[in-house]
Structure 1
């Protein structure tokens, strides 16, 4: 299973496989044609409250990860997570995000849960 995280601003690569945007909002300055997004499961993204809390610097990444994983246990999110996991079993999946530090973001949490790095 190959799951990787890339910034949506980076040009698509041939080995990206299925490109999944994991941000709630469409990234500024990126056209839909240039992004080449195959799926956009908004229910997999952190809640607005959790996102605001984390970006306000009120908690650690570990606490954010725990809270986000709890949100991902909700039925709709869990179903979407299973769907993306099934895509990853069939071929490469690239999780796309606009965050500047993907390694300490929700995308990294998703990649780990999906069996990526």
Structure 2
């Protein structure tokens, strides 16, 4: 088993390899920008910026997830101004180290999911310039 695979199978209610790297939490809402946010989290993980982490685990109040989010350097990526990820953090008194909203990157929210490559490239470029 690889180190990455092992980090996904930790005990109790933690997961996803939240070691010393930043933890990256992305919206996965039901719109193009929600899916772009989720895909950005994955791409940032693949590029070594940090480790993808579970926003739902923080939102559910699972102690290990909340404690990791409080202790770690965090990057939260919301899809739109509804700001679900930011609100989850606020509910636990956490301020993300870095915060991004996909619609603030010039991408319009809609429900078209067929081909998000151009928007993904635009958003990824924006984030990479800021981190």
User: Does TM, scored on the shorter chain, surpass 0.5?
Assistant: no
TM-score of the superposition, structure 2-length normalised? Answer: 0.36
Larger relative contact order (CA 8 Å, sep ≥ 6)? 1
Compare CA radii of gyration and give the structure with the larger one.
2
